[in-house]
Amino acid sequence: MARSWATMEDFEAFLDDGGLVEADDPMPDAYRQAVFAFIEMHANSELMGGLTERDWIPKTPGLRHKMAVLAKTQDEIGHGHLLYMVAADLGVKTRVEMLEDLFAGRSRFHNVFHYRAVTWGDQVAIAFLVDAAALISQQAVFKNCSYGPYKRILRRIIAEEGFHMRLGEDRMLRIAEGTDRQRLMFQESLNRWFWPALQLFGPDSESDDVLLRWHIKSERNEVLRDRWVQKFVPMLQSYGFTVPAPDMRWDAVRHRWDVGPIDWEPLKRTLAQGGPDSSRRIREAADNWSRTAWVRAALSHNNVAANDAGNGSTSAGGS
């Protein structure tokens, strides 16, 4: 297999054939940029998700419970780590550049992580609804992803997200079977998080979406969104919660829930101007990043003098 492609048509034929691109392949620049932007956004979202959960971890109600929640958020940070490593190997930005862009408010991440978890119920709603939405998207990417290093780490990420969903469902069940105050708290969380979670999938895919054409995504946004709706609407109802969608109806012909028209304005506003809480979290993370700069500087100390500096952009390239 000669790993170079004379034209975009050749490259796309290779992808259509199920070919997997590796970090050291001479891929078309447009593909490199598109894959990089997609993985960088995924990495940012994992990290921002961890920062959203961070607010509540020290207050987790229960000792063993706290261990489980810590392990979950640790995984999210770990996913960020895996993704930043893979993204850096594409040679577009270094890991530090990606983090600094994020902390300077220059990069994108999923809409949901612009909001604040204001109660413990929100923490559970995120673990249950948002993680499930993320998992559905990731499974669809994994299924047919043409970028090899991304596909391989997605296997691990998806396995771990499976643990999180079960944790989220277990915690949600305790609330569903719990006191009136608990149930009320979770209903309010559901009212806050249902629509942002649903909008994580984004608006309907454009017909000429290059992410689909280049087999980075394998299914259209609206298909994934519908999969989530069909799974979670009946589940939430069976636990006695109200889905906050006044126009929702059961389509007896298609045997599907139709949530009604989706108001995309909040999503657009969030992506354009940042959300209600992201600037605070980013500022906090940025402050911590600069306050710990001395650690990173000291750890890099002497590497160059010892003639063994590696900045990661050498030939072995990627995972």
Partner 1 sequence: MSEPHGVREYLLAFADDEHLMGQQHTEWIGVAPFLEEDLAVSSIGQDELGHAALLYELVLDLEGVEATDPALDVLAFGRPSDDYRCCHLVEYTTHDWAEALVRHWIYDTFEAMRWQLVAGSSLPKLASVARKALQEEAFHRRHADALLDKLLDAPEARERILEALGAVYPLVEGLCEPVEGEAGAMSTGVAAASTADLLEPLHQAIEARFDSSDSIGSRTASLQNRRTKRSADFDPLLRRMREVLDYDPGAVW
Partner 2 sequence: MRVYEVFVKKDGRNEFRHVGALEAATDELALVLAREAYLRRAEGDRLWVVRRDHVVAAAGDFVDPNADKPHRHHDGAAVAARRMAARQSPG
By the rule CB under 8 A, 18 interacts with partner 2:
no
Cβ-Cβ contacts under 8 Å for 271 (sequence gap 6 or more): 108, 111
Find the DSSP H helices in 89-216: 95-103, 120-125, 131-144, 148-176, 180-199, 210-213
By the rule CB under 8 A, 303 interacts with partner 2:
yes
Nearest CA among 120, 95, 104 for reference residue 36? 95
Interacting residues with partner 1 between 83 and 122 (CB under 8 A): 84, 120
Farthest CA pair distance, the chain: 72
Task: Please report how close the Cβ of residue 319 comes to partner 2 at its closest, in angstroms.
Answer: 5
Task: Please report how close the Cβ of residue 5 comes to partner 1 at its closest, in angstroms.
Answer: 34
The residues pairing with 256 across neighbouring beta strands, listed in sequence order, are: 251
121 and 176 in contact (C-beta within 8 Å)?
Answer: no
Q: Which of 16, 24, 206, 263 binds partner 2 (CB under 8 A)?
A: 24
Q: How far apart are CA 200 and CA 80, in angstroms?
A: 17
Cβ-Cβ contacts under 8 Å for 181 (sequence gap 6 or more): none
The site string for partner 1 over 272-311 (x = CB under 8 A, - otherwise) reads: ------------xx--xx-xx-xxxxxx-xx---------
End-to-end CA distance of the chain: 20
Task: Please report how close the Cβ of residue 284 comes to partner 2 at its closest, in angstroms.
Answer: 23
Task: Please report how close the Cβ of residue 151 comes to partner 2 at its closest, in angstroms.
Answer: 13
Looking only at the bridges linking them, the beta strands covering 249-251 and 256-258 are antiparallel
By the rule CB under 8 A, 67 interacts with partner 1:
yes
Which entry of partner 1, partner 2, none binds 284, CB below 5 to 8 A by partner kind? partner 1
By the rule CB under 8 A, 317 interacts with partner 2:
yes
Task: Please report how close the Cβ of residue 178 comes to partner 2 at its closest, in angstroms.
Answer: 29
By the rule CB under 8 A, 9 interacts with partner 2:
no
> Could you list the residues that contact partner 2 (CB under 8 A)?
1-3, 24-25, 71, 74-75, 78, 81-82, 85-86, 89, 95, 153, 156, 296, 299-300, 303, 308-312, 314-317, 319
